[in-house]
A and B are shown apart, each in its own frame.
Chain A
Amino acid sequence: GQNIDQPTEMTATEGAIVQINCTYQTSGFNGLFWYQQHAGEAPTFLSYNVLDGLEEKGRFSSFLSRSKGYSYLLLKELQMKDSASYLCAVREYGGATNKLIFGTGTLLAVQP
């Protein structure tokens, strides 16, 4: 089966660091994506991991462990504008495909 789990909600304080976890069980794996979605807007691409390890992009970092079926998104120096839903998505493996399986998302609230 296919299953992607993320916490439903998280709260953090402005200026702090927050880690959003994602675990997955899918029939195939060809990369993991993180997207940010503000209320009423389209998801925007944050990061992509296909090999184990940490990818850093400014205030955002993403980690992947394929053997554990685990990823996390790390947000540093939180700002109020980071309040949004964070979506973890796995791309299935199997020929040429762009099919993404999404988790239900983690709603992050950043408080002053």
Chain B
Amino acid sequence: KAGVTQTPRYLIKTRGQQVTLSCSPISGHRSVSWYQQTPGQGLQFLFEYFSETQRNKGNFPGRFSGRQFSNSRSEMNVSTLELGDSALYLCASSSGGDTQYFGPGTRLTVL
């Protein structure tokens, strides 16, 4: 089976812009979770989608949003980018409530 894929792998944006990141889970997996990884804070949970519904949400501002499509692919959007949003954004898929498998991540740099 192919693993979790994320696009794009690298992205450079400027403050105030918005960005959309994409994640395709492992075939058959219906749960997609998103995490932000920074050197200072480590991995922090953003939100989880299961069968097109947001099932859980972390403590991030409303500028961070996401959605999931009927084929389980997921997107996350960050609006009005700030310098502090520079991070590695990881998505992880699972079949339900078990082990999460991570994608390679999208490295976002905000200038």
Interface residues of A (CB under 8 A from B): 33, 35, 41-45, 48, 87, 89, 96-105
With known contacts A42-B102, A43-B102, A102–B48 Cβ distance under 8 A: no
The answer to whether B64 has its CB under 8 Å from any CB of chain A is: no
Q: Does B103 have its Cβ within 8 Å of any Cβ on chain A?
A: yes
Query: Other CB < 8 Å A-B pairs besides A35-B102, A43-B90, A45-B99, 15 of them?
Result: A42-B102, A42-B105, A44-B102, A45-B100, A48-B99, A89-B43, A97-B48, A97-B55, A98-B50, A98-B94, A99-B48, A100-B33, A100-B35, A102-B42, A104-B41
Shortest 8 CB-CB contacts between residues of A and residues of B: A102-B43, A104-B42, A42-B102, A99-B56, A43-B102, A97-B56, A42-B104, A98-B48
Q: Are A99 and B102 in contact (CB under 8 A)?
A: no
Judging by beta carbons under 8 Å apart, are B55 and A98 in contact? yes
Question: B45 and A99: CB pair below 8 A?
Answer: yes
Does B102 lie within 8 Å of A103, measured CB to CB?
A: no
Count of interface residues, chain B, beta-carbon cutoff 8 Å: 27
- Residue among B31, B42, B94 making CB contact with A103, cutoff 8 Å: B42
Judge whether A97 and B97 touch: CB under 8 Å: yes
Task: Please report the C-alpha to C-alpha distance between residue A100 and residue B58 in the assembled complex, in whole angstroms.
Answer: 10
The answer to whether A98 and B56 have CB atoms under 8 Å apart is yes
The answer to whether A101 and B45 touch across the interface, beta carbons within 8 angstroms, is: yes
